[in-house]
Amino acid sequence: AITGRGADLLIIDDPHSEQDALNAQALERAYEWYTSGPRQRLQPGGAIVVVMTRWNMKDLTGMLLRSQKELKSDQWEIVEFPAIMPSGKPVWPQYWKLDELESVKASLSVGKWNAQWMQNPTAEEGSLIKREWWKIWDKGYIPPLQHIIQSYDTAFLKKESADYSAITTWGVFYPDQDSPANLILLDAFKERLEFPELKKEAWEQYRYWNPETVIIESKASGLPLTYELRKMGIPVINYTPSKGNDKHARVNAVAPLFESGVIWATEDKFAE
């Protein structure tokens, strides 16, 4: 406890837990704790050292760096140890080999890797899919496809505040004989539809693309459509995302695929 005491040197060690990292209120409480407690106990000429893993742009370090933009605010000296240095070498090569770090990177979401390992957290939207990760198929033809997949995210209301229904169609192909399987976005549809309209659109999309696999999320709005399409002879597979309803978590889970350069879009679909 620091209440009632002054300090010439304050060392703050890991002010956030992992559970706090995605909790906006917990992050705000940490900054409030700092400004109402430690900062007010520092004696003239004293110093504060904050030792922590970065978690979020709004963690304590992030807030302190933001506040130093004020002309007379505290100014901080930053000492960072990213797992992979700007030179491309591991920060501690005797312990972590580069290929081991690359394996860790491939196993984590982009946001976690950037924050906890590279000490460079990005905004939530910055942790999603970056435009430059898409590869553009600029040839005048679709590559030979091994498999076509159609995916549905459904909603049954047409009012402006309702969610969209979305249908995406993907092709699996191999750019060359030594490449892993790649995916190319063939078509993307998004509109607010009532159930009869959605059913009609689904049938037309299926008839046009003739996919081998149709995936519909197992949620309240998806189950009636699954039932109707199966009656029409469409081989629907229901899917329950392992990340639940958290869309950010879902996208971050597949972000490494985009970053690895195996996801393509035709020029017209990317523009859309």
Kindly report, residue by residue over 137-147, the tens digit of the pLDDT: 988 899 999 99
pTM metric for this prediction: 0.55
Considering the domain architecture, whether residues 174 and 210 belong to the same structural domain is answered as yes
pLDDT band at 20 (very low <50, low <70, confident <90, very high): confident
Percent of the chain beyond pLDDT 90?
55
pLDDT(91) > 60: yes
Cα angle, residue 241 at apex, residues 240 and 243 outer, rounded to 5°: 140
| One domain for residues 143 and 123 | no
- 257 lies in the same domain as 143: yes
Span of 13-27, 70-84, 202-216 with lowest mean pLDDT: 13-27
SS (H, E, C) the chain: CCCCCCEEEEEEECCCCHHHCCCHHHHHHHHHHHHHCHHHHEEEEEEEEEECCCCCCCCHHHHHHHHCCCCCCCCCCCCCCCCECCCCCECCCCCCCHHHHHHHHHHCCHHHHHHHHCCCCCCCHHHCCCHHHCEEECCCCCCCCCEEEEEEECCCCCCCCCCCEEEEEEEEECCCCCCCCEEEEEEEEEECCCHHHHHHHHHHHHHHHCCCEEEEECCCCHHHHHHHHHHCCCCEEEECCCCCCCHHHHHHHHHHHHHCCCEEEEHHHHHC
Q: Domain residues for 237?
A: 131-271
Residue 141 and residue 213 in one domain? yes
Average pLDDT, the chain: 87
Kindly state whether residues 26 and 122 are assigned to the same domain.
Answer: no
Q: What is the pLDDT of residue 114?
A: 85
| Range with the largest mean pLDDT of 126-130, 173-177, 238-242 | 173-177
Q: Say if residue 139 is in the same domain as residue 238.
A: yes
What is the pLDDT at residue 251? 75
Domain CATH code at residue 151: 3.30.420.280
Q: Do 110 and 135 have their domain in common?
A: no
pLDDT above 60 (res 119): yes
Amino acid 197: pLDDT = 93
pLDDT band at 30 (very low <50, low <70, confident <90, very high): very high
Number of domains in the chain: 3
- Please check whether residues 70 and 87 belong to one and the same domain: no
Cα–Cα distance measured from residue 222 to residue 165, given in angstroms and rounded to the nearest whole number = 10
Question: Where residue 218 falls among pLDDT bands split at 50, 70, 90?
Answer: confident
- 149-159 per-position pLDDT tens digit: 999 998 876 66
Q: How much of the chain, in percent, has pLDDT values that exceed 70?
A: 89
Q: Are residues 154 and 207 in the same domain?
A: yes
Q: Which residue has the higher pLDDT, 173 or 22?
A: 173
pLDDT exceeds cutoff 90 at 97 = yes
Q: What is the pLDDT of residue 166?
A: 93
